[in-house]
Amino acid sequence: MIQIPALRFGKPYTSLDKATLIHHVTGEPVAEVSQVTGSQIARDVGLMERAHKELRAIPIRDILAMYKKAADYFVNATLPCGDAELSFDDYVRNLSATTGSPMVFCKRNALKVHYVLDNIEEVIAGLTRGLDVEALDKGFSNKNGRMQAFYPTTNVFGAVLPSNSPGVHSLWVPTLALKMPLLLKPGREEPWTPFRVLQAFIKAGIPSQYLGFLPTDHAGASDILRLCGRSMAFGDDRTMAPYKNDHRVEIHGTGYSKIIFGEDQADNYERYVDIMVESVAANGGRACVNASAIWTPRNADKIADALAKRLGPMKPRAWDNPDCEISAFAKPEVAEAINNMLEDGLKTPGATDVTAKYRTMPRLVTEGRIAYLLPAVIRCETPEHPLANKEFLFPYASVIECPQADVLKRIGYTLAASAITEDPAFIAEVMACPHIERLNIGALPTNRLTWDQPHEGNLFTHLYKQRALALASA
């Protein structure tokens, strides 16, 4: 069993209090992770002013070169993981073992982290909207006579991380390139990715005193969000509610992502079935950019049936099967609770589970210690139905018919939307819609992202504020 310590900004720390991680299939212990307390977090955060000054003094070109090395080490090197040494394949296997996400998903998402590490200058250019990277050394840029200046909003950036997918870690990876010390609270079942990224950074030459890996409980996570001047946190609407109006916390919560058909393409829905399938089911349907609703002015019944015909036959496969299409729930009670919520919603008239006629087994499948939820396509007769605007941790989508003239008034908050239309007037309306954060126009799935354009918040503008600056000439 692997012993994973906390990393208290350069100092490995092994505690008496440990969280035991078990294999989701066998129940055997895989690792023990040392836990830290709120008082230890407070002490470490209080020491970050000096670390921040030291990190700011390192030339940005040196940091970017270390990122390139870290990218290579992340996928190709055997790196320390507590008292063990793990290859990339070992890391993927352990990640899958404790989270329930199939190995094929874990590897695919880990490669997204590698992409950000390896293309950090492109990512930074996107976050800063083309600011010269040397401006991160000087605090300003005076390009073509246009002054842009900024100052840091904090001495340390905290991230309270989830356990659902390693792809989310690409969001905090640029932090050190923005010259900010990093404090990570890993998800309980997913210490593997953040620990491996930090070890790749250390091997690449980034001093460990700028890196914190602080596993802790719910109270400790709250301390991180309270004490760090800027942070990000992942969770559902209920968990994130206390931080909804806290400008210090960048919330990554429920996405309510959608596909929206325009009048001009609603009759051509068959061309876009592959787009809909990928949007709903990619990564096991567990990402905030997975579509959880499809809105169309007509042909809703046909669209729901076409999508259900593709998703309904999906079935559980072993966690190490390269053909896996859905993820296991390591805690069967979570799958049971979601299934009960869905069944309760179906009791309200006006909704039909169209996938039921295409499944060869019940929606909820229990196998030994784990459970699966098979895909669900729900045809809702009105936008007001309780299941019309829901999001769950499996491939789920409601299909709703709504006039084009009304749809943008009715969709509500939408993290990622794919507007399938070629109508210039409707495109202009969608472009102006304040409810949509990430927007794709045309035949693009909702989960298709570009890393030089942030889809939920902007790390640079979170960590820095713009200021007016004038320099007296020599």
C-beta neighbour count of 459 within 10 angstroms: 24
Burial class (CB in 10 A: 0-12, 13-18, 19+), 341: middle
Position with higher pLDDT, 457 vs 324? 324
Q: What is the mean pLDDT of the chain?
A: 94
Identity of the amino acid at 430: V
The model's pLDDT over 368-419, given as tens digits with 9 standing for 90+, comes to: 899 999 999 999 999 999 999 999 999 999 999 999 999 999 999 999 999 9
Position with higher pLDDT, 474 vs 170? 170
Alpha-carbon distances, residue 50 vs 7, 38, 391 (angstroms)? 18, 21, 43
Range in 49-53, 152-156, 317-321 with the lowest mean pLDDT: 317-321
- pLDDT over threshold 80, residue 456: no
pLDDT, mean of residues 407-433: 96
Label residue 448 by pLDDT band (50, 70, 90).
confident
Look at residue 145 in the predicted model and tell me its pLDDT: 79
- pLDDT over threshold 50, residue 12: yes
38-253+459-467 and 257-441, same CATH topology: no
- pLDDT over threshold 90, residue 200: yes
Look at residue 10 in the predicted model and tell me its pLDDT: 85
Class of domain 38-253+459-467: alpha beta
C-beta neighbour count of 98 within 10 angstroms: 23
Beta-carbon-side half-sphere exposure of residue 399 (alpha carbons within 13 Å): 25
The model's pLDDT over 140-149, given as tens digits with 9 standing for 90+, comes to: 998 877 889 9
Beta-carbon-side half-sphere exposure of residue 40 (alpha carbons within 13 Å): 23
The model's pLDDT over 79-110, given as tens digits with 9 standing for 90+, comes to: 999 999 999 999 999 999 999 999 999 999 99
User: Above pLDDT 90, what percent of the chain?
Assistant: 86
The pTM of the full predicted model, rounded to 2 decimals, is 0.93
Label residue 474 by pLDDT band (50, 70, 90).
very low
pLDDT, mean of residues 456-470: 89
Domain ranges of the chain: 38-253+459-467, 257-441
Look at residue 453 in the predicted model and tell me its pLDDT: 67
pLDDT, mean of residues 7-26: 94
d(CA 279, CA 283): 9
pLDDT, mean of residues 183-210: 97
- pLDDT over threshold 90, residue 164: no
Q: Which tokens sit at 100?
A: 């329930």
Q: Which tokens sit at 206?
A: 């980034």
pLDDT, mean of residues 31-35: 97
d(CA 131, CA 142): 10
The fold adopted by the segment(s) 257-441 is Aldehyde Dehydrogenase; Chain A, domain 2 (3.40.309)
The model's pLDDT over 216-236, given as tens digits with 9 standing for 90+, comes to: 999 999 999 999 999 999 988
User: Above pLDDT 70, what percent of the chain?
Assistant: 98
Beta-carbon-side half-sphere exposure of residue 168 (alpha carbons within 13 Å): 26
